Chains A and B, each alone.
Chain A
């Protein structure tokens, strides 16, 4: 878990945000008034100094934010179990020894026995939307299931034991 973000106004230059990453490195992002963005990483041998890692313009920084943000959004959804009108979405990763490993969604009777719908499956980084009953679950797959909170609990027992 990263430490708190520290905000330092640099008069005449811009605003600098720094935090200490869990690896121990001090990461700073400087937004210049002129629209430049710079990312710095602290020098390990001198705690007062930092090395410029990359300089970005507005478009670059948006791309970088999206690249970093994508995985973060996934985790945020996971954590929140975002409830929409009584419905919850849950991400379930199936491991080697789990009851669901090696079986199809149809065999398991996911929908009939628990009441959830498998809305997507993630395999090696790719999303397969709405997998059918003959979709065979492999260890390492992540299933995105949707349903009422109690149904999600039953699905978790069925799929992961």
Chain B
């Protein structure tokens, strides 16, 4: 590949992403749908098919997933995860049933295979914690009484992902029920052990990694995360889950500094990931699935709000707080794409990429709009 062309294309893509991120900031929206649209426009069948930058974007996207989940893990301490699970498990279970089922059923109705349908269920289940956290911040809802409930539900969803991703990985790896069961058992054991070790020795591990030099710290954490992610992928536990567990294990000063050091990297590589996902989808495949995506988006917006409404009511919150809590979680984003990508990469269903893209595009925009409406009716 010609170096000049690579640099020119890559620079061009980043500048286009910058314009999109700026526009998203101005509109108060998540940049994720715009990144996806840019990917669509640059892929095969798009406005300007990009060839050379794929050489960089492909590995960058892999790193993007690792960083997305590493930083997610860094957000939480093991104690926060454990207490989140204890307090809100009823709501979390309802959330899972109410939002996984529509995707699963839609996949089966479309005549998709079982695995593709399970992947679609994951796409419709998980809310975007990035969009939700930003919405709560922008609206100044951190001191609201529904906010702890919203945040612990997000924690629970992330934990479910730690079980779900290895499950999908094992299903895709194939083999009989026994092989899949074995893989899942291994995944659960590894995740459980990591959590227990993190709770017990997290501080020791973190202390041994710590260095006052940002450079040393960056290289150690990134190296460790990529290494564990790679090993996890090899064990069919999924790279993302490995990185997530590394993030959880880190605590104290390492956690605080790592967050600041890795955030700009995450922004770059995660953007590459969304672009790559868009690239892998032929835009001509979107119109045929648009209606299905819209129906699925409408149904799962309602099921998400309804599940959260029930939980918030149980927690003694008023109607306006229930509505706020529900609407803030409607947006699906980064993790729906992470899940869909696993299915797309495995090539299990050719409409999956297009459907997931259209679905996330719709809800990543509709979710924040709903939350803003909820804020307005509250006044």
B259 contacts partner chain A, Cβ-Cβ < 8 Å: yes
Partner of A52, one of B140, B154, B318: B140
Measured in the bound complex, the distance between the Cα atoms of B152 and A38 in whole Å is 20
Q: Closest 10 CB pairs between A and B? A: A40-B143, A48-B321, A52-B140, A12-B75, A50-B143, A28-B143, A11-B80, A48-B145, A49-B144, A11-B155
A125 contacts partner chain B, Cβ-Cβ < 8 Å: no
B188 contacts partner chain A, Cβ-Cβ < 8 Å: no
A33 contacts partner chain B, Cβ-Cβ < 8 Å: yes
In contact, A33 and B318 (Cβ under 8 angstroms): no
With contact pairs A9-B83, A12-B75, A13-B133 given, residues A49 and B151 touching in the complex (Cβ less than 8 Å): no
Write out the residue numbers on chain B whose beta carbons fall within 8 Å of the beta carbon of A42: 143
With contact pairs A9-B80, A13-B133, A34-B259 given, residues A49 and B142 touching in the complex (Cβ less than 8 Å): no
Measured in the bound complex, the distance between the Cα atoms of B75 and A106 in whole Å is 66
In contact, A12 and B155 (Cβ under 8 angstroms): yes
In contact, A49 and B75 (Cβ under 8 angstroms): no
With contact pairs A16-B143, A48-B145 given, residues A11 and B320 touching in the complex (Cβ less than 8 Å): no
With contact pairs A10-B142, A12-B75, A30-B143 given, residues A49 and B324 touching in the complex (Cβ less than 8 Å): yes
Q: List 30 A-B contacts (CB under 8 A).
A: A8-B148, A9-B148, A10-B151, A11-B76, A11-B84, A11-B152, A12-B75, A12-B76, A12-B80, A12-B129, A13-B142, A13-B151, A16-B142, A30-B142, A30-B143, A33-B256, A34-B259, A40-B142, A40-B143, A42-B143, A46-B318, A46-B320, A48-B145, A48-B146, A49-B144, A49-B320, A49-B378, A51-B140, A52-B140, A52-B142
- Shortest CB-to-CB span from A20 to chain B, Å, is 13
Interface residues of A in 27-54 (CB under 8 A from B): 28, 30, 33-34, 38, 40, 42, 46-52
In contact, A40 and B151 (Cβ under 8 angstroms): no
> Which residue of chain B lies nearest to A55 when distances are taken between CB atoms in the complex?
B140
B206 contacts partner chain A, Cβ-Cβ < 8 Å: no
Measured in the bound complex, the distance between the Cα atoms of B143 and A40 in whole Å is 6
Interface size class of B (residues with CB under 8 A): 20 to 34
Interface string of B134-166 (1 = CB under 8 A from A): 000000111111111001101100000000000
A114 contacts partner chain B, Cβ-Cβ < 8 Å: no
The count of A-to-B residue pairs whose CB atoms sit within 8 angstroms is 70
Q: Determine which residue in B142, B146, B318 has the highest number of CB atoms from chain A within 10 A of its CB, and name it.
A: B142
In contact, B142 and A46 (Cβ under 8 angstroms): no
Measured in the bound complex, the distance between the Cα atoms of B148 and A28 in whole Å is 13
Write out the residue numbers on chain B whose beta carbons fall within 8 Å of the beta carbon of A40: 140, 142-143
Interface SS, A side: strand
Interface size class of A (residues with CB under 8 A): 20 to 34
B317 contacts partner chain A, Cβ-Cβ < 8 Å: yes
Measured in the bound complex, the distance between the Cα atoms of B315 and A43 in whole Å is 19
Measured in the bound complex, the distance between the Cα atoms of B141 and A42 in whole Å is 11
In contact, A10 and B75 (Cβ under 8 angstroms): no
- Shortest CB-to-CB span from A109 to chain B, Å, is 57
Interface residues of B in 316-356 (CB under 8 A from A): 317-318, 320-321, 324
Interface string of B67-101 (1 = CB under 8 A from A): 00000000110001101100000000000000000
A18 contacts partner chain B, Cβ-Cβ < 8 Å: yes
Measured in the bound complex, the distance between the Cα atoms of B375 and A51 in whole Å is 11
Interface string of A56-67 (1 = CB under 8 A from B): 000000000000
- Shortest CB-to-CB span from A32 to chain B, Å, is 8
In contact, A18 and B143 (Cβ under 8 angstroms): yes
> Which residue of chain A lies nearest to B129 when distances are taken between CB atoms in the complex?
A12
Q: A11-B81, A12-B76 are in contact. List 10 more A-B contacts (CB 8 A).
A: A11-B151, A12-B133, A13-B142, A46-B318, A47-B145, A48-B145, A49-B141, A49-B144, A50-B143, A52-B143
> Which residue of chain A lies nearest to B145 when distances are taken between CB atoms in the complex?
A48
Write out the residue numbers on chain B whose beta carbons fall within 8 Å of the beta carbon of A16: 142-143
Measured in the bound complex, the distance between the Cα atoms of B98 and A108 in whole Å is 82
Measured in the bound complex, the distance between the Cα atoms of B142 and A42 in whole Å is 11
> Which residue of chain B lies nearest to A9 when distances are taken between CB atoms in the complex?
B80
> Which residue of chain A lies nearest to B320 when distances are taken between CB atoms in the complex?
A46
With contact pairs A46-B320, A49-B324, A49-B378 given, residues A10 and B148 touching in the complex (Cβ less than 8 Å): yes
